[in-house]
Structure formats: C-alpha cells, structure tokens
Amino acid sequence: MDLPSNPPVSPAVRITVLLRLASEGFQDAFDARPEWLEAPPVDLAELREVVGVERIGQLREATGLREGEGYAAGGPAGVVRLAAAAHEGVLGLLGVAALSPDVIIEQTDEGPRYHVPEDWFLTTPAGGPGRG
C-alpha cells in the first residue's frame, strides 16, 4: 500500500496498530494469546530505527515478534493474517482517512473501543493451509 512520503502519523504508530490488530484478531479467533507476531522486514527495520535495537529485542522476547510476509499472529491454535482491508482500515482508525462504515465505535468509561469487520482477518486453524 502506498502511503504519502510525509504521513501525518508516524510509521511506527501504524506498524504498532497493525501488530495489535493481528494480536487481537488471534485472541478473538482462538481465545488465546498468540505465541508470535509477524511484520514485513521493511516495517520491522523502520520500527527498529525509531525505537532502537534494545526495544526491538524486548518486543521480540515479549511477543515473539519476527519477520514475515505480512502482518500475522500465530500459535498452536492457528494463524491470523491481516487482509488488505485491515491495511486500508487502519488509516481510518488513526484518523488520517475516513473511518470505514463497517467499524463500530463503542463508548466506554476508558474511552472509545473499536470493533472492526471480520473481513480484516484471514484465519487459518491449526492443521489448515497456512504457515505457522
């Protein structure tokens, strides 16, 4: 996906939100925390540049963060990958594009909570086709 060369939101924030989406999608699908998260190598390099090597090491240790073909979360139960719709929709969540009409916003005491469409996630249970 092409983003403007001078985006109004830090790429590190976009990367973090995509990783969070993958993680939460896995938790919703399998009722468990993922053992690992994946992000494209170019995005991990950009994140490393912003947060530093030490912080990336901490993230790898805490979340199993690793390089992959795209954004994904996985574990023994299966794998959840982010679909193209998630990459487009995240810009709306970050306030730099129109929010998808399929996103439901729930106001809570802690602030707004966003419910995103199921088509943002590609879920493969263990034993199905996919990479884990």
| 3-class DSSP string for 34-94 | CCEEEECHHHHHHHHHHHCHHHHHHHHHHHCCEECCCCEEEECCEEEEECHHHHHHHHHHC
The C-alpha atoms of residue 8 and residue 119 are separated, in whole angstroms, by 26
Q: What confidence category does residue 132 fall into, taking pLDDT thresholds of 50, 70 and 90? A: very low
| Closest residue by Cα to residue 70 from 83, 57, 56, 51 | 83
Check: CB of residue 120 under 8 Å from CB of residue 110. no
Residue 2 lies in a domain: no
Check: CB of residue 25 under 8 Å from CB of residue 120. yes
Average pLDDT over residues 80-109: 91
Beta bridge partner(s), residue 106 = 113
The C-alpha atoms of residue 86 and residue 71 are separated, in whole angstroms, by 10
Q: What confidence category does residue 116 fall into, taking pLDDT thresholds of 50, 70 and 90? A: very high
Residue 73 lies in a domain: yes
Average pLDDT over residues 61-77: 96
Residue 132 lies in a domain: no
Residue 56 lies in a domain: yes
Residue 3 lies in a domain: no
| Better pLDDT: 5 or 111 | 111
For residue 63, how far is the Cα from the chain centroid?
Answer: 12
The C-alpha atoms of residue 112 and residue 108 are separated, in whole angstroms, by 6
Note the pTM of the prediction, 2 decimals.
0.84
Beta bridge partner(s), residue 6 = none
Residue 6 lies in a domain: no
Residue 5 lies in a domain: no
The boundaries of the domain holding residue 69 are 11-125
What letter represents residue 102's amino acid? D
Residue 75 lies in a domain: yes
Domain count for the chain, please give it: 1
